[in-house]
Amino acid sequence: MSRTLSGPRTRPAADGPGARAWLSADDCDLGAFRELVERSTDAADYPYAAAVERNVLLYDGEGLRAAIRTPGGLHDVRTELVRALAEGPGIVVFRGAFPDRDVLDRASGAFEALIAGQRASGATAGDHFARPGANDRVWNALEKAALLDPEAFADYYANDLLALVSHAWLGPGYQVTSQINVVNPGGAAQTVHRDYHLGFLSNEAAAAYPAHVHRLSPALTLQGAVAHCDMPVESGPTMYLPHSQKYEPGYLAWRLPEFRAHFEAHHVQLPLAAGDAAFFNPALFHAAGHNRSADIRRMANLLQVSSAFGRAMETVDREALSNAVYPVLLRRRAAGADQEWLDRVVASCAEGYPFPTNLDSDPPVEGLAPPSQADLLRRALREEWVPDRLRDALRAAAGRRES
């Protein structure tokens, strides 16, 4: 089948034999794709994993927590997670990621309140890959939940395994965004896709980016989903095709009928229990499943965590979010919360990267960059600023960044 797209043609790159500088739909070959995805995930390659199920790596939450208590263990676990997401199946599942049911239920209560308010307003949230109105979706649930219930927000986003996998894949300064998705009984499945960034472009637009950007895009984002209820397979948990993230022209392939048909025939689904979490490479072929249950409202907190060096999909008022959560952090610090707990919450709410800024009014003074919003929040905690002082400092810092 011949496919023609506007944009540059594929040609060998100067950096090595066979390397491609450009990709087109003509490069999409189902046979080559099948060679990548029709393989077994070897548990022996992942010593920290508890099991492999349907080619997906399963990790025990408590086992991971024990492993990362030492700096050496933390380094080794991060290294294994990077290999799993990049070179392995592209997906990891953490059993018992949120083991405290009270923390999970309080967050669920905030999410349900947001959904109820959205319904009462008459608003209908669209969906990228499903019919609008089929699901209950709350965009920018991160900010909305923090403003509604900052105590529940802090306890939820202090989660150590969320920080573990986010730092492993993206490094420090990552930015969390969150969308609540409730698929109601009868809710239809999404279509197979890759995710943000290139996954949200048309094939014509994606083909205009050179091949090295296709390779870069997955390193800018980590996808995740936290189960807020038990999700048997009949409720439609996310469908995945392990190892598909490694297919270089995949951003041009997922819309093609033969690739969609292969996904429909060979995808896997795993049941999740409340508190489990799945994290995956955004280039993995995936789609939310069909909820065939009679009475399960399948609630997941969809996490999209962005690199400090990329652009998050959603606009988040992190100044307002930081101001809302700061009094909670002050109280918890006074009550004995350790620095790691505080730092995980700060990472989830404050901007961790100081750029872009206005270097005339916000010049670097100590080092090569001015302080970030997260730096300011951490200083406020160390020096026990009153909330109004932090509010003024954040506003002044925002003013200095303006052109």
Q: Would you kindly state where each structural domain of the chain is located, as residue ranges?
A: 44-306, 318-401
| Residue 197 preceded by cis peptide, ω within 30 | yes
The Cα 159–Cα 141 span in angstroms is 17
Question: What's the CA dihedral at 26, 27, 29, 34 to 10 degrees?
Answer: -160
The position carrying tokens 């009868």 is 186
Local structure of residue 225 (DSSP, 8 states): E
Tokens of 394: 């954040």
Distances in Å between the Cα of 325 and the Cα atoms of 5, 93, 155, 387 are: 48, 29, 11, 10
Which residues contact residue 234 at a Cβ distance below 8 angstroms, ignoring those fewer than 6 apart? 291, 292, 293, 296
Residue 99: what pLDDT? Answer: 98
Residue 235: what pLDDT? Answer: 97
Which residues contact residue 292 at a Cβ distance below 8 angstroms, ignoring those fewer than 6 apart? 186, 234, 235, 236
Residue 132: what pLDDT? Answer: 55
Residue 6: what pLDDT? Answer: 38
Which residues contact residue 56 at a Cβ distance below 8 angstroms, ignoring those fewer than 6 apart? 41, 89, 91, 92, 93, 240, 242, 268, 270
- Chain center to CA of 55: 21
**Dihedral of CA 355/359/361/367: which sign?**
positive
The Cα 357–Cα 67 span in angstroms is 39
Which residues contact residue 29 at a Cβ distance below 8 angstroms, ignoring those fewer than 6 apart? none
Residue 3: what pLDDT? Answer: 44
Q: Which of 102, 147, 83, 151 is nearest to 319 (CA)?
A: 147
Which CATH number applies to 44-306: 1.10.12.10, 1.10.10.10, 2.60.120.620, 3.30.420.40? 2.60.120.620
Residue 2: what pLDDT? Answer: 39
- Global pTM value: 0.93
Q: Roughly what angle, to the nearest 10 degrees, separates helices 71-86 and 160-170?
A: 60
**Dihedral of CA 309/313/318/322: which sign?**
negative
Per-residue pLDDT of the chain (403 residues; tens, 9 = 90+): 434 333 344 344 334 445 789 999 999 999 999 999 999 999 999 999 999 999 999 999 999 999 999 999 999 999 999 999 999 999 999 999 999 999 999 999 999 999 999 999 887 655 544 555 567 899 999 999 999 999 999 999 999 999 999 999 999 999 999 999 999 999 999 999 999 999 999 999 999 999 999 999 999 999 999 999 999 999 999 999 999 999 999 999 999 999 999 999 999 999 999 999 999 999 999 999 999 999 999 999 999 999 999 999 999 999 999 999 999 999 999 999 999 999 999 999 999 999 999 999 999 988 899 999 999 999 999 999 999 999 999 999 999 999 9
The phi-psi region of residue 122 (left if phi > 0; otherwise alpha if psi is between -120 and 50; otherwise beta) is left
The Cα 110–Cα 104 span in angstroms is 10
Residue 20: what pLDDT? Answer: 87
Question: Residue 281: in which H helix or E strand, if any?
Answer: none
- Other beta carbons less than 10 A from residue 48's beta carbon: 19
Question: Residue 91: in which H helix or E strand, if any?
Answer: strand 91-95
The Cα 330–Cα 382 span in angstroms is 9
Longest CA pairwise span in the chain (Å): 67
Residue 365: what pLDDT? Answer: 82
Tokens of 246: 């490694």
On whether the CB atoms of residues 109 and 145 are closer than 8 A, the answer is no
The phi-psi region of residue 314 (left if phi > 0; otherwise alpha if psi is between -120 and 50; otherwise beta) is beta
Residue 125: what pLDDT? Answer: 58
